[in-house]
Structure 1
Amino acid sequence: MNRILILGGSGFIGNALYKELAPFFDVHATYKTDNPIFEKNKHFHQFDYEMERLHILLDNLKPKFIVTALRGNVTSLVRLHFEIADYVEKNDCKVIFLSSANVFDRFTNYPSYEYDKTLSESIYGRFKIKIENELLRKPISKYVICRIPMIYGAGSPRINEIKAQLQMNEAIEVFSNVVINATHINKLVQQLHYIINRRRRGIFHLGSNNLIHHIDLIKDICEELGHPDALIKQVFDSNEDRHLAVLPKDNMLPKHLQLTIEDVVKSSVVL
């Protein structure tokens, strides 16, 4: 059975992916902060990427797939991913890097596709680009780069925040001129499962096939949650529409793994 190591298995994406993969693979995951539940699970390993080197854990587990779902200190994360890139090049395994739509946040006129040039004006986007570029120097069989837009779905941090604001009757901040695509957590982990199981490689854009203004998405979600008259605070960061969307084109997934904005909206209330 192929062994998978999820770095960041205690986080929102990492934990959802662990639950998706565990029935089918030998899945191990890391967590950082003391947690009695994870401590009882022999497949969870406490690891602080800011203080420790990863090679000891890699040498012990010898995973075939390393999924990186970590957030935090940018400098430490860059060092860690360079260490992983060196490891996969020398060993029989590959890395699945969860990147972001923000690698294109400097391009505003059009949505972006898998092999478009990356360019970012944000610290977060430039950090993701630096790691992507290091992986792109390796043989294509050694990496998968998954660029992910905003993640919604029942239980997600974004939906939980919207629910809390609705309950408190607070205004929800939206970016009226931003055109996006999106995804939801259940579909995302299914897509990653497929990529691992079919040993796909290269760059994937794991978002909806269609676009929507951010304000319209939030309004639709609020209505789905039973609040059609939610308070909305509009924020304008430009006079014209600005795209922040990663559309799939070259590396398409099977039809049952594709999704639309309408699926994202419906997922906000499906547990």
Structure 2
Amino acid sequence: MGKRILILGASGFIGNALYSELQSYFDVYGTYYSNFSDFSKNQVFYHFDVEKDDVEALLNTIKPSVIISCLGGQFDRLLDVHKQLSSYAMVTPNCRLFFISTVKVFDGIKSYPALETDKAFAISNQGKYALAVEKLLKELPAQRYAIIRLPLVLGVNAPVVTNLKYAIASQDVFEIYPDLVINVTTDTRLSQQIHYLVNQSKYGIFHVGSSDLIHHSDLFEEISEKLGSNKPIFKQVYESNTDRFEAVLPKKSFSLKEHKYNVLDIVNEVTLNQSIPTLKTTLL
């Protein structure tokens, strides 16, 4: 299989999608923290607690040639872990470190969507943390890292989509933001694009997401409409008098046709053959 891949945070929404995509093609290992009963018997999954465990021990055991970090946790501890990952990537021949970053690295710039070449500026704790990790990776030789900046990630089992379905079923409140302009992807499309980057040994900064934009409120109203005749109680939340942008446009990253998609493609993917849970299920 060639490349040995370690996915840190493989039990999470994005990490598990990556594992499902890559495990048939590469020698893939992952870490989990929660969902102990689901992963403890899987011999390629290792329990890893960001707050307590030593990532160096894990790296020395698995000896990966590709590391994909989807870790969550306390930002200060996460930064320490990524310092260790960067050190490993620096001294390990042909090792590459992939960091799943976020649109939040641009949350100090809200007047336009961001391109790969734009200078990032963050004001949130999440954005500042992601920028700090990006800075660490940029100290590596160029061929040793890839930074993947994500917009809102949807999917059939995405937490936000699950919350929307339950809000529809129980006629509960679902918050939407009419002044927020975004682009989107899904866990499936993201995983396919990272598969391409790993397989082709790509490196650098990549924006993954739809090539067009939509208001947050319009997106979830459209998804709700495609899911059926019932709707949740939409609560409109305004945070600005003008449009603000949280979008990372992929202007130069991907050339393959199948890696280019628009918001409508994403909406259709998320709602295809989907049903709303019954109220009984909602209350369990």
| More deviation, 2-11/33-42 | 33-42
Q: How many residues align structurally?
A: 271
Counterpart in 2 of 1:160?
162
Distance in 2, matches of 1:105 and 1:95, equals 24
1:191 pairs with one of 180, 193, 211: 193
Change in Cα spacing, 1:34 to 1:215, as seen in structure 2 (3 Å) is closer
Secondary structure class of the residue paired with 1:99: strand
Distance in 1, matches of 2:230 and 2:108, equals 33
Question: After superposition, what is the alpha-carbon deviation per residue over 1:133-168, rounded to whole angstroms, capped at 9, x for unaligned?
Answer: 111121111100000011111111111010011111
CA contact (8 A) 1:4 1:64 kept: yes
Secondary structure class of the residue paired with 1:70: coil
Change in Cα spacing, 1:235 to 1:35, as seen in structure 2 (3 Å) is same
Shift of 1:225: 0.8
CA contact (8 A) 2:168 2:230 kept: no
Q: Which runs of 4+ in 1 moved over 4 A?
A: none
- Counterparts in 2 of 1:11-50, with a 5 A limit? 11-33=12-34, 35-50=36-51
- Counterparts in 2 of 1:45-64, with a 5 A limit? 45-64=46-65
CA contact (8 A) 1:219 1:228 kept: no
Counterpart in 1 of 2:107?
105
- Counterparts in 2 of 1:60-209, with a 5 A limit? 60-92=61-93, 93-209=95-211
Counterpart in 2 of 1:243?
245
Question: After superposition, what is the alpha-carbon deviation per residue over 1:21-43, rounded to whole angstroms, capped at 9, x for unaligned?
Answer: 11110000011236233121110
| More deviation, 39-48/219-228 | 219-228
Question: After superposition, what is the alpha-carbon deviation per residue over 1:97-144, rounded to whole angstroms, capped at 9, x for unaligned?
Answer: 000001001111110011211111111111101100111121111100
Counterpart of 2:12, as a letter, is: G
| More deviation, 235-244/26-35 | 26-35
Shift of 1:253: 3.9
Question: After superposition, what is the alpha-carbon deviation per residue over 1:232-267, rounded to whole angstroms, capped at 9, x for unaligned?
Answer: 111111100111100011222411012210011112
CA contact (8 A) 1:20 1:189 kept: yes
CA contact (8 A) 1:225 1:268 kept: no
Question: After superposition, what is the alpha-carbon deviation per residue over 1:165-189, rounded to whole angstroms, capped at 9, x for unaligned?
Answer: 1111112111111110011111111
Counterpart of 2:97, as a letter, is: V
Change in Cα spacing, 1:43 to 1:249, as seen in structure 2 (3 Å) is same
Counterpart of 1:118, as a letter, is: A
Counterpart in 1 of 2:278?
none
Distance in 2, matches of 1:17 and 1:182, equals 17
CA contact (8 A) 1:175 1:215 kept: yes
Question: After superposition, what is the alpha-carbon deviation per residue over 1:67-120, rounded to whole angstroms, capped at 9, x for unaligned?
Answer: 001111111101001110111011120111000001001111110011211111
Structure 2: where are the runs of 5+ without partners? 274-284
TM-score, length-scaled by structure 2? 0.92
Structure 1: where are the runs of 5+ without partners? none
Identity value in percent: 38
Distance in 1, matches of 2:256 and 2:6, equals 25
Secondary structure class of the residue paired with 1:204: strand
CA root-mean-square deviation: 1.3
Secondary structure class of the residue paired with 1:268: helix
- Counterparts in 2 of 1:214-229, with a 5 A limit? 214-227=216-229, 229=231
Secondary structure class of the residue paired with 2:171: coil
CA contact (8 A) 2:182 2:246 kept: yes
